[in-house]
Amino acid sequence: MSEGRRRGLGLLGSREDDDLLSGVANLFDVAMVFALGFMVALISALNLLDLFSPDQKVTITKEREDGLEIIVREGRQTTVRRLTKAVGSGDGVRLGTAYRLQDGSVVYVPENPAEEVMER
């Protein structure tokens, strides 16, 4: 085979391409694409795509040593509420009664429905 034909195939490359750092740059590009693909796969596997949608209301509940932490994101506003295990006390007014139905839902019945309508 002639020297020109071997160089034309491009299998071996030219002798001018002996730069060792050119392979490192390609490895960095492959690692970045792999990391981005892994992140997208993880987000979609955990069904967390709603976190990035501005139209969704997302509630995250975390259990902590001292109680619960509830994070609510609605649109661009995020609210963090921390509930403790301490029992509340104080003076107050009874507003009504709550009943848990057989299907697990809770129904609130005010003491005096006429007063509630007038307060609104």
Q: Higher-confidence residue: 57 or 118?
A: 57
Find how far residue 25's CA is from the centre of its chain.
32
Residue burial 67-92, b: 16+ Cβ < 10 Å; e: rest: eeeeeebeeeeeeeeeeeeeeeeeee
Cα–Cα distance measured from residue 71 to residue 81, given in angstroms and rounded to the nearest whole number: 6
| Tens-place pLDDT, residues 68-115 | 999 998 888 889 998 887 777 788 888 888 899 999 888 888 887 655
* pLDDT at residue number 110: 84
Cα–Cα distance measured from residue 53 to residue 30, given in angstroms and rounded to the nearest whole number: 29
| Tens-place pLDDT, residues 6-30 | 444 555 555 555 677 777 778 888 9
**Residue extents of the structural domains in the chain:** 3-45, 49-119
Question: Cβ(85)–Cβ(99) under 8 Å?
Answer: no
Q: Look up residue 101 and give its amino acid.
A: L
